[in-house]
C-alpha cells in the first residue's frame, strides 16, 4: 500500500504542479491571449496589425530611450510599430490643431499630462473610447488604483506620475533633528530660511498647482503660508520643477516639494530622503491617452491604449520607467530611495488622490489669470495677494456650480 500511496501522492503532486504552472503562465484578462476570446476586440487587433503602426504625439511613457524599449516590447507582442513625436502640451496641441485644420495626416494618439488632455478633448480633437470593445472596460474595478476611464469619455488615464505631497530633503545639508513637520512650519520657522527650493511663479504655474492640490483640495497649505515662504524664507527660486529637483539633489538647497524629477538623483545615490507630512493629502498627476478623431491608424491606436493599461503592459512600463503602477495587481517599481517616505509631524497618513481634469484646468487658469502669483518673488502685499486669489476662486466657484473640492480617490 505504501509504495502505491507514495506513487499516487507523487502523481497528484505532479498534476497539481503542472496545473499551477499552467495557471501561472495563463495570461491576465487583458493580455493578448484573453483578447482572442472577444471577437470584436480580435477584429480590432487584426485591423491594428494590418495598419501596422501607430503615431503618438506628446509626452509620457514613450519618452526617451525607455520609451523606445516600451515601443519595441509592444511591437514584439503585436507586430505594430509605435512612433512618438515628443512635445510638451502646448506645441503638441498646436501641431494637432494645425494638422487637423489642414486635413493632413496627424497623430493617432495624444498623450499628455493635465490639463492638456481635457483641453484637447474640449477642442473636439478626440473621439470617445467608451464604445470601443476594449478588454480593459470589462476588467473588475478592483484591479484599478484609479479607474482609467474615470475622467473622460474620450481618453484613458494611463501612467501615474510621481505623487505630490512628499518633501524631499538633502541629508547632507539638513540634519534629522531639523526635518520640517508641516507646510506651516516650513513657511514660518527661521531654520528653513534660505534652504527651501521653490519654483518661480514668473516662469511656471507650479505654485498655483501646489496651492490647488494642498490648499484648495487638501486644506493643508494656506495662502498665508505661500506668501510667507516668498516674503520671509528667502527661497531659492528655480525656473521649473526639474531645476528645483537638481538643485536639492546636489545640495544647493535643502528642501523640495514633490517627488517628480528625483528619479535620476535617487538612482544615482544622491543623498536624498523622502518625508511625508502627516494628514496631508497626496495628489498624483496622471497622464492620459486620447484617440484622435483624424487618426490614420485608429485600430492600432486602440490596441496600444489597451495594452498600456493592461496588466502585461503595466508590468513592462513600470519596470522600464521605475514608476508607480495604475493597477493593484502590478507592484510599483519606484527607485528605493523614493519608495518608503518617512512620516513626520504625526502618525496618520493623509488621503491619496489623483488630479481631476477640473482641478488641472482650474490650477492652470488660476495661474494665468491671477497676476499676483507672478509678483510674489518681487513683492506683493499679503492682503492684496490673498484677496485677489480668493476673489478669483469665489467667481470660479459661482460660475461652476459651487465649490469643487472633491478629488478622485487613489488606492495606495
Task: Report how far residue 62's alpha carbon sits from residue 83's, in angstroms, rounded to the nearest whole number.
Answer: 9
Beta bridge partners of 160: 286
Residue 384 or residue 412: which is nearer to another protein going by CB?
A: 384
Nearer to another protein, 62 or 157 (CB): 62
Among the listed residues 341, 359, 361, 377, the one whose alpha carbon sits nearest the alpha carbon of residue 198: 377
The grid cell for 90 is 502646448
Q: Which is nearer to another protein, 276 or 322 (CB)?
A: 322
30/55 with CB nearer another protein = 55
Supply the minimum distance, in Å, between the C-beta of residue 279 and another protein.
30
| CA torsion through residues 311, 412, 139, 131, sign | negative
Q: Which residues of 52-74 are buried (b: 16+ CB within 10 A; e: fewer)?
A: eebbbbbbbbbeeebbeebbebb
**Residue 371: CB minimum distance to another protein, A:** 9
Q: CB 177 → another protein: shortest distance, Å? A: 22
CB atoms within 10 A of CB 79: 13
Helices (H) and strands (E) in the chain, counts: 17, 14
The answer to whether 370 touches 389, Cβ cutoff 8 Å, is yes
Residue where the block lists cell 479607474: 147
Shortest gap between Cβ of 229 and another protein (angstroms)?
14
CB of 165 to another protein, least distance (A): 19
Q: If we measure between CA atoms, which residue out of 224, 223, 236 comes closest to residue 192?
A: 236
Closest CA to 93 of 110, 73, 78: 110
Smallest distance from the beta carbon of 74 to another protein, in angstroms? 13
Which C-beta is closer to another protein: that of 108 or that of 225? 108
Enclosing H/E stretch for 145: none
Closer residue to another protein in complex, CB, 302/360 = 360
42 or 296: whose CB is closer to another protein?
A: 296
DSSP assignment of 30-56: TSHHHHTT-HHHHHHHHHHHHH-EEEE
Q: How many whole angstroms from its chain centre is CA 357?
A: 12
Closest approach of another protein to the CB of residue 256, in Å: 14
Per CB under 8 A, residues contacting another protein are 55, 59, 63-65, 67-68, 72, 83-91, 94-95, 97-99, 101-102, 104-105, 115-116, 119, 200, 202-205, 236-239, 242-243, 246, 249-252, 261, 263-265, 267-270, 364-365, 367-368, 377-378
Amino acid at each position: 500500500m505504501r509504495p502505491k500511496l507514495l506513487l499516487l501522492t507523487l502523481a497528484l503532486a505532479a498534476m497539481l504542479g503542472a496545473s499551477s504552472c499552467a495557471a501561472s503562465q495563463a495570461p491576465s484578462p487583458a493580455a493578448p491571449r484573453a483578447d482572442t476570446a472577444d471577437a470584436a476586440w480580435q477584429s480590432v487587433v487584426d485591423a491594428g496589425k494590418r495598419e501596422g503602426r501607430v503615431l503618438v504625439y506628446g509626452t509620457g511613457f514613450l519618452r526617451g530611450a525607455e520609451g523606445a524599449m516600451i515601443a519595441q516590447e509592444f511591437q514584439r507582442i503585436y507586430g505594430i510599430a509605435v512612433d512618438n513625436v515628443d512635445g510638451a502640451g502646448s506645441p503638441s496641441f498646436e501641431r494637432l490643431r494645425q494638422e487637423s485644420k489642414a486635413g493632413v495626416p496627424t497623430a493617432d494618439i495624444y498623450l499628455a499630462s493635465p490639463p492638456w488632455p481635457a483641453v484637447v478633448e474640449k477642442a473636439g480633437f478626440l473621439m470617445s473610447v467608451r464604445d470601443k470593445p476594449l478588454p480593459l472596460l470589462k476588467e473588475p474595478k478592483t484591479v484599478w488604483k484609479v479607474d482609467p476611464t474615470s475622467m473622460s469619455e474620450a481618453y484613458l488615464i494611463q501612467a501615474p506620475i510621481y505623487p505630490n505631497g512628499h518633501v524631499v530633503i538633502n541629508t547632507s545639508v539638513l540634519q534629522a533633528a531639523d526635518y520640517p513637520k508641516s507646510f506651516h512650519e516650513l513657511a514660518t520657522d527661521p531654520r528653513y530660511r534660505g534652504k527651501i527650493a521653490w519654483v518661480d511663479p514668473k516662469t511656471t504655474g507650479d505654485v498655483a498647482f501646489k496651492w490647488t492640490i494642498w490648499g484648495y483640495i487638501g486644506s493643508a497649505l494656506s495662502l498665508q503660508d505661500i506668501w510667507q515662504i516668498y516674503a520671509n524664507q528667502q527661497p531659492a527660486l528655480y525656473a521649473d520643477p526639474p531645476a528645483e529637483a537638481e538643485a536639492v539633489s546636489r545640495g544647493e538647497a535643502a528642501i523640495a516639494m514633490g517627488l517628480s524629477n528625483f528619479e535620476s538623483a535617487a538612482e544615482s545615490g544622491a543623498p536624498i530622503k523622502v518625508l511625508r507630512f502627516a494628514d496631508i493629502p497626496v495628489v498624483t498627476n496622471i497622464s492620459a491617452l486620447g484617440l484622435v478623431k483624424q487618426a490614420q491608424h485608429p485600430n492600432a491606436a486602440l490596441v496600444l491604449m489597451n495594452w498600456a493599461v493592461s496588466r502585461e503592459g503595466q508590468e513592462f512600463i513600470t519596470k522600464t520607467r521605475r514608476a508607480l503602477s495604475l493597477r493593484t495587481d502590478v507592484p510599483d517599481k519606484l527607485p528605493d530611495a523614493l519608495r518608503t517616505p518617512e512620516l513626520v509631524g504625526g502618525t496618520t497618513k493623509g488621503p491619496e488622490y489623483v488630479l481631476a481634469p477640473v482641478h488641472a484646468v482650474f490650477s492652470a487658469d488660476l495661474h494665468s489669470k491671477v497676476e499676483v502669483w507672478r509678483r510674489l518673488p518681487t513683492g506683493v502685499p499679503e492682503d492684496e495677494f490673498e484677496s485677489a486669489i480668493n476673489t478669483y476662486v469665489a467667481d470660479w466657484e459661482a460660475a461652476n456650480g459651487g465649490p469643487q473640492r472633491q478629488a478622485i480617490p487613489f488606492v495606495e
